[in-house]
Amino acid sequence: MYGGREDGRAPTLSFRKAYEALREGLVRAGKGDSEAEAEARFYLQWLYGLSALAFLEAMRGGEPRVPEPLISAFLRARGWGIPFAYLVGEAEFFGLRLTVTPDVLVPRGDSERLVEAVLALTQDDLEKPRHILDLGTGSGALGLALLSRRPRWTADLLDVSYTALRLAAHNARRLGLAGRVRILWGDAFAPSALPEGLAAAYDGIVANPPYVATEEIPALAPEVRWEPILALDGGADGLRPYPRIAALAEMLLRPGGFLAVEVGGGPERVARVRGMVSPRMFEFAGEVVDYGRRLRGLLWKRK
């Protein structure tokens, strides 16, 4: 299987053999066939900076040869549960390449559904400039994804983590969106720690807050347990952030502005979140269902 060497260098595999070894190793580690194939392909593309077309050409031609330790080390790390995005330092979200580190959550495909819902909600006024707030921005995924599809929008990206904010700022620059973004430090759940002058400042708020109940964290998938606890732990009932988000929306949103939040924990917990937002001040605008057909988000419009 390996192309051994007599000069002491690491043995190598042909490009196709490397792909097959990765795919088979990921399946043994519990990945489904399609997930293993995609991850093996993405890893080799990342490793050699290959486009999709160049990857296909390498599969046909066998070059470049891949050092076997790069395969075994990757599979070992994935076997430990280290997220793929942390190993390669980036993740794809809504068609964007975002730099990620263990200081932030890995952007997930299911969160793209919240972005899609906001875009649909605002489809009728595409030319209207909007200033939005991404609350607890992390890598900047939600806010930057929205800006990428709404060229007249601007955003404030707010987080309590300085390392997360540095990463969000980097991603804004990487995507050519820095001129439409303001980076803000603040603790959304401590009113005295929010920046001043934000009252009625926004036409939209998006948030993916921590919503895992504390006692549920040990049972999370191994990959998730590598992610920052601050971004996961939603308190004893998984609902700690939501009353504060509802209060902030009342204070920060202009009339007609939207509130879009990611939720989790099942229908009963989602219903409790919905009940925290005042029907006197907000019109419910819909639910968001993720790719697994689970309730994943809620939307409102400020009256």
pLDDT given at position 200: 80
* 226-284 confidence digits (pLDDT tens): 999 999 999 999 999 999 999 999 999 999 999 999 999 889 999 999 999 999 999 99
Q: Give mean pLDDT, residues 175-193.
A: 87
Question: Rounded to a whole number, what is the distance in angstroms from the first to the last CA of the chain?
Answer: 66
5 contacts: CB under 8 Å, gap ≥ 6: 11, 12
pLDDT given at position 193: 63
DSSP state of 137: -
Q: Give mean pLDDT, residues 218-230.
A: 91
Burial category of 89 from C-beta neighbours within 10 Å (exposed 0-12, middle 13-18, buried 19 and up): exposed
In the predicted structure, residue 206 carries a pLDDT above the cut 70: yes
Where residue 3 falls among pLDDT bands split at 50, 70, 90? very low
Lowest-confidence segment of 2-6, 97-101, 121-125, 290-294 by average pLDDT: 2-6
Question: H or E element: which one contains 115?
Answer: helix 109-121
* 19-40 confidence digits (pLDDT tens): 999 999 999 988 899 999 999 9
The answer to whether residues 303 and 281 touch, using CB atoms and an 8 Å cutoff, is yes
38 sits in the region (left: phi over 0; alpha: psi -120 to 50; else beta) called alpha
Closest CA to 288 of 39, 114, 33: 114
Where residue 187 falls among pLDDT bands split at 50, 70, 90? confident
Q: What mean pLDDT is reported for the chain? A: 92
Torsion from C-alpha of 251, 254, 260, 261, nearest 10 degrees: -10
Torsion from C-alpha of 92, 244, 229, 148, nearest 10 degrees: 10
Residue 95 one-letter amino acid: G
More confident residue, 140 or 199: 140
The answer to whether residues 130 and 301 touch, using CB atoms and an 8 Å cutoff, is no
pLDDT given at position 6: 42
CB atoms within 10 A of CB 230: 16
